[in-house]
């Protein structure tokens, strides 16, 4: 079975990932416009008709901008927890409120859709409720952890399960410290319910490297407090300290914010 993964956008101005097989796909988050989603999918020969569900991680604007449209206009089921759904329908950025398209998955629950086995789990962040997803297809495991302030034992267990890992590397600690953000915002970002820094992610990966990980995509990079190259290097250096060679033992990719990534295909 051929599995395809692409990031259509990643970062605080919008997040959207596609994961699919030949004729069945899902989106994780939909924080960009419908046109951008359609174009990004069209460029990899995927039509919106073959997108059968959207899984939402939390109710911040950069993850939900398009869920009303995808759900109510295109009739694509939108899955998340009850709490996230309440948050979505309270959100200023969702003009079409979700009703018939709202579907539920709770933390600790596993759902089967076609060849996809999808589990939801808790991550520490400051949305109304915050979810990571672990998706198993044909014996391959993808874990999505975007927007989390620190790595809890639960988050760690899903990171270690993954063959293909999408994990946040939001900011460079020095850039955030020296940058122009107001103090309260710096505190929020670096706090336990904010975001992961390059170093936190790099150190965790180096300390807990599991042989089964083949690809790591660093996601949700900050525009103001990070660079793709810097995030990549930080992880590469930390892994090298432990004798793990990027490009040989594992692939690491820092995802761009507003342009789609390459298309990754796995058999």
Stretch of residues binding Zn ion (CB under 5 A), selected from 84-92, 146-154, 180-188, 243-251? 146-154
> Least CB distance from residue 15 to Zn ion, whole Å?
6
* Three-state SS at 60: coil
* Residue placing its CB nearer to Zn ion in the complex, 137 or 196: 196
CB atoms within 10 A of CB 157: 12
Residues 57-76 that bind Zn ion (CB under 5 A): 60, 62
Of the candidates 111, 45, 103, the residue with the CA atom closest to the CA atom of residue 75 = 103
Contact 18, 51 (CB under 8 A): yes
DSSP assigned state of 73: I
Exactly one of 59, 147, 200, 236 binds Zn ion (CB under 5 A); that residue is 147
User: Which tokens belong to 235?
Assistant: 């992880």
DSSP assigned state of 1: -
Residue 168 is a binding residue for Zn ion (CB under 5 A): no
* Residue placing its CB nearer to Zn ion in the complex, 72 or 147: 147
How many residues line the site for Zn ion (CB under 5 A)?
Answer: 3
* Residue placing its CB nearer to Zn ion in the complex, 116 or 144: 144
* Residue placing its CB nearer to Zn ion in the complex, 62 or 200: 62
DSSP assigned state of 256: P
**Which spans of this chain sit near Zn ion (rule: CB under 5 A)?**
60, 62, 147
């Amino acid at each position: 079975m051929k599995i395809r993964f692409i990031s259509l956008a990643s970062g605080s101005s919008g997040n959207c990932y596609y994961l699919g097989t030949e004729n069945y796909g899902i989106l994780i988050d939909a924080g960009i416009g419908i046109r951008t989603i359609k174009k990004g999918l069209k460029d990899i020969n995927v039509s919106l008709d073959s997108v059968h569900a959207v899984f939402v991680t939390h109710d911040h604007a950069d993850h939900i901008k398009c869920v009303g449209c995808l759900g109510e206009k295109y009739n694509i089921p939108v899955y998340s927890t009850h709490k996230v759904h309440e948050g979505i329908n309270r959100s200023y950025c969702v003009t079409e409120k979700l009703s018939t398209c709202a579907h539920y998955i709770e933390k600790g629950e596993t759902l089967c859709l076609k060849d996809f086995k999808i589990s939801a789990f808790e991550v520490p962040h400051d949305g109304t409720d915050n979810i990571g997803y672990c998706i198993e297809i044909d014996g391959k495991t993808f874990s999505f952890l975007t927007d989390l302030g620190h790595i809890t034992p639960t988050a760690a267990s899903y990171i270690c399960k993954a063959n293909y890992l999408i994990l946040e590397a939001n900011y460079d600690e020095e850039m955030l410290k020296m940058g122009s953000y107001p103090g309260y915002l710096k505190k929020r970002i670096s706090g336990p319910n904010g975001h992961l820094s390059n170093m936190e992610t790099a150190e965790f990966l180096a300390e807990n490297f599991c042989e089964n990980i083949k690809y790591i995509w660093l996601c949700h990079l900050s525009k103001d407090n990070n660079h793709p190259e810097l995030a990549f290097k930080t992880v590469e250096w930390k892994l090298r300290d432990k004798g793990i060679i990027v490009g040989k033992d594992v692939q690491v990719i820092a995802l761009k914010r507003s342009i789609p990534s390459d298309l990754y295909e796995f058999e």
